[in-house]
Amino acid sequence: MFPKKEKFGGKAAYILALAGSAIGLGNIWRFPYMVGEHGGAAFIIIYIICSFLISLPIFLSEAVIGKVSGHGSYEAMKRLAPNSAWRGLGMMAVISSFIILSFYCVVGGWSVDYFVRSIAGTMSVTSRESASALFGSVAGSVCEPLTAHLFFLGISAVIIVLGVKKGIEVFSKISIPLLFVMMVIVTVYSISLPGAAEGVSYLVRPDFSKIDASVVASALGQSFFSMSLGVGMVVTYTSYSKDSGIVSAGAWTTVFDTLFAVIAGFAVMPAVFAGGLEPEAGPSLVFEALPYVFGQMAIDMPVFSRIATIIFFFSILLAALSSSISLFETCVNHAMEHNKFSRRKATLLVLVLTWVLGVLCSLSFGPLKDVKIFGENIFGFCDELTSNYLMTLGALAFAIFVGWRMDWQKVTGSVGRFFHFMIKWIVPPAILTIFLSSILS
């Protein structure tokens, strides 16, 4: 009924592709500003606990669905729970990945813009004002962000057309090791800046008085976003895997993702403090603070600072690409399985749809900034809808399905039993409690 599926070359490729999806803007762009907004080290500790105790079991739930069914989320639910409303979960996951892809590529476009400027030497940020003016024009004008957005989307589409092995696998195998090396270089540079020590201590000295229900909910939401959960990406990638070692794949993905987020925190925060800036700047933190700080350093050390800037923005670009392709593939796989489209046709369809919503998201920083949905601009609405609600709901539903509806008879061994217990009894109530208490507080 279905054409034969493409598969990853082996376990390493599967894990690297998963790590590629997990490591992204969520780690370099979102994680540092979330840490800054929620009080530093204590947030990081809660984040790590959430990742291993809640996100990892959810990852495994999605992986089990992909493994047992051999399909993406919609077809998987159709087969595992025939004639039931569970297929709605599969569809919701595909729609969520489409919405995330649309706004994600806008930020991907900004990273293209900053990278090109860092190479061309046209960043020219000499003051805080010029840093925000630069971000304002990169994000808020019309031609520049739309061109960069299209370029970013285009590269993602090319990788997807190349397929699972020649596209996603090859890209992940190159980009993930490179990303770690580059981020460590920037971290070393950042920590060596005068005044950086304060930033380091901000990341290692927890202040638990800042922790409340909404901080825990933010840490959990950040962990879901960073590990790409609740949108069927893990289901799709696992359906491309030949081996059965999903527990170790999940553990590795969690370790890589958490490690990379922490390294990125150490790349960004010391620089922010070295520049005398506030860590609570929010989404513009990386795009404003880093060019400003590295720009200041350029006065004394022009070569080092230039290299650090180029490497930093290249890392953001690569990380964004390795994640955007996973969202893209989740949608393309759906169109191939459900609509029986060829890979090319499915890619073109997703490209066009994502471009349309992406243009609206991009313009919501410029000409469309007064268009509000529930008080947010279009970009903010798409971000909140998916990160705060759809991903959480998807993650919860995948765990409930696997914990309560799937047959676990064959699961043996203490590790398998431990995760079954977590998925069935601990994860759903934990998510519900955290989610509801943050809404009610």
Which residues sit at the interface with ligand PHE, rule CB under 6 A? Answer: 21-22, 24-27, 100, 225-226, 228, 231, 233, 323, 326-327
Nearer to ligand PHE, 19 or 77 (CB): 19
Q: Smallest distance from the beta carbon of 326 to ligand PHE, in angstroms?
A: 5
Q: Whole-number minimum distance, CB 222 to ligand PHE, in Å?
A: 9
What is the DSSP secondary structure assignment for residue 376, as one 8-state letter?
Answer: B
Select 215 or 327, whichever has its Cβ closest to ligand PHE: 327
Which of 324, 16, 302 lies closest to 157 in space, CA to CA? 324
Q: Phi first, then psi: what are they for 373, rounded to 5°?
A: -120, 120
- Nearest to 316, CA basis, from 18, 23, 16, 28: 28
Closer by beta carbon to ligand PHE, 298 or else 319: 319
- At 2, phi and psi to the nearest 5? -105, 145
- With respect to ligand PHE, which residue has the nearer C-beta, 26 or 90? 26
Q: How far apart are CA 84 and CA 244, in angstroms?
A: 27
Cβ at position 391, least distance to ligand PHE in Å:
7
Closest approach, Cβ 97 to ligand PHE, in A, equals: 6
Q: Closest distance between ligand PHE and the C-beta of residue 323, in Å?
A: 4
In the complex, minimum distance from the CB of residue 233 to ligand PHE, in angstroms, rounded to a whole number:
4
Closest CA to 430 of 386, 399, 391: 399
Pair 163, 3: CB distance under 8 Å: no
How far apart CA 238 and CA 257 sit, in angstroms, is: 17
**Shortest spacing between CB 306 and ligand PHE, in angstroms:** 26
Nearer CB in complex with ligand PHE: 131/176: 176
Question: Based on CB atoms, which residue is closest to ligand PHE, 73 or 296?
Answer: 73
Shortest Å distance, C-beta 33 to ligand PHE:
13
Report the distance separating Cα 387 and Cα 207, nearest Å.
26
Tokens of 111: 């990273």
Residue bearing tokens 């957005």: 149
* Exposed/middle/buried for residue 274 (C-beta within 10 Å: 0-12, 13-18, 19+): buried
Neighbours of 52 (CB within 10 A): 14
Q: Which residue has the tokens 């291993």?
A: 52
326 or 388: CB nearest ligand PHE: 326
Query: Which of 293, 16, 319, 55 lies closest to 182 in space, CA to CA?
Result: 319
Angle at 229 between CA 157 and CA 40, to 5 degrees: 105
Q: CB of residue 58 vs ligand PHE: minimum separation in angstroms?
A: 12
The residue among 190 and 323 lying less far from ligand PHE, judged by its C-beta, is 323
- Which residues are CB-contacts of 319 (< 8 A; sequence separation ≥ 6)? 23, 24, 25, 27, 28, 175, 179
The smaller minimum CB distance to ligand PHE, of residues 125 and 286, is found at 286
